[in-house]
Amino acid sequence: MRRTVQSDTGTTAVELALVITVLMTVALGAGDFGLWVFQRSEAAQAAREASRVAMIQPPATMGLQSSGPIYDAARAELDTGLTPVVSVSCTNTCAPGFDTVTVTVGWDRSPLTMVGVFDHVDGASSRTVVGTP
Pick left, alpha or beta for residue 5 (phi over 0 → left; psi -120 to 50 → alpha; otherwise beta).
beta
Handedness of CA 31, 84, 42, 82 (dihedral sign): positive
How high is the pLDDT of residue 132?
A: 66
User: What is the H or E stretch that residue 109 is in?
Assistant: strand 100-109
Contact call for residues 103 and 125 (beta carbons, < 8 A): yes
How high is the pLDDT of residue 131?
A: 74
Lowest-confidence region among 85-89, 92-96, 120-124: 92-96
How high is the pLDDT of residue 58?
A: 83
pLDDT in tens, 95-126: 888 889 999 999 988 887 776 677 888 999 99
pLDDT in tens, 31-67: 888 888 888 999 999 999 999 999 988 887 888 888 8
Rounded to the nearest 5°, which phi and psi values hold at 30?
Answer: -65, -40
Residues in the chain, overall count: 133
Output the pTM of the full model.
0.77
How high is the pLDDT of residue 44?
A: 93
112 CB neighbour count, 10 Å cutoff: 14
